Amino acid sequence: MKKSVIVLLVIGAIALLLFGSVRKSYNNMVMMEEGVTAQWSQVENVYQRRADLIPNLVNTVKGYASHERETLEGVINARAKATQVTIDPSNLDAAALQNFQEAQSGLSSALSRLMVVMEQYPDLKANQNFRDLQAQLEGTENRITVERMKFNETAQQFNVYIRKFPQNIMANMFGFEKKAYFEAQSGAERAPEVQF
């Protein structure tokens, strides 16, 4: 009778240790995945800040450069497309992130064209509202870069954790999947040509 009690106690202790290990790993995966989701929210937050600044910028420019209608409409349309693309944080796969990046790149491109056009208007460049908006937009672009970098770091930590043994077994059992990263736009590896 004593042997069966000892065997049951050993089996119970092993089961308890195994349960504790699985519980700890699962809870860590949940915590890290929530960290990725929270960081994604920060990325969306700064992109939203940029989208919110654009109508003010366009309205300021309209007063000085109303005949630049095509450029202004391009910015407005690109903003509309960029704000329509959303991603479910629980499904941050490469395809969804690529779609989001393309929409945001379109907006960045339209804003760059607007800034080039604005260089032709000295009165506009002297306008305090325009300068303030331009400075806010530049600051927001810097924030976007920082938040994207933080997102990639958070996603990397999560991805490494769920790929390690034995967490990879539990990640597969519980459906935790690797998160996608922000990547540089194609052609970003080449320095832009500057001609005078």
Q: What local confidence, expressed as pLDDT, does residue 136 receive?
A: 84
Residue the block writes with tokens 């000085």: 64
pLDDT tens-place string over residues 17-51: 888 888 898 999 999 999 998 898 888 888 888 88
Predicted structure pTM score: 0.71
> Has residue 52 been placed in a domain?
yes
- At 57-85, the pLDDT tens digits run 777 777 666 666 677 777 878 888 788 77
Q: Is residue 71 part of a domain?
A: yes
Q: Which domain holds residue 152?
A: 46-174
Cα–Cα distances in angstroms (integers) from residue 122 to residues 23, 47, 69, 117, 119, in the given order: 64, 29, 18, 11, 7
Query: Is 99 among the domain residues?
Result: yes
Note whether residue 114 is domain-resident.
Answer: yes
The rounded distance, in Å, linking the Cα atoms of 71 and 66 is 10
Average pLDDT over residues 168-177: 90
Q: Is 32 left (phi over 0), alpha (psi -120 to 50) or beta?
A: alpha
* Token pair belonging to 145: 């870069």
**In terms of DSSP H, where are the helices of the chain?**
2-64, 69-84, 94-118, 122-126, 128-163, 167-174
Reported as a single tens digit per residue, the pLDDT across 95-117 is 888 888 888 888 888 888 777 77
Digit-coded pLDDT (tens) for 115-138? 777 777 666 666 677 778 788 888
CATH code for the domain of 134: 1.20.1440.20
Quote the number of domains for the chain. Answer: 1
Quote the pLDDT of residue 128: 74
Residue 5 placed within a domain: no
pLDDT tens profile 2-21: 888 888 888 999 998 888 88
Question: Do the domain assignments include residue 188?
Answer: no
Task: For residue 65, tell me if it sits in a domain.
Answer: yes
Mean pLDDT of the chain: 81
The contacts of residue 11 (CB under 8 Å, 6+ apart) are none
CA angle 56, 61, 65 (to 5 degrees): 160
166 located within any domain:
yes
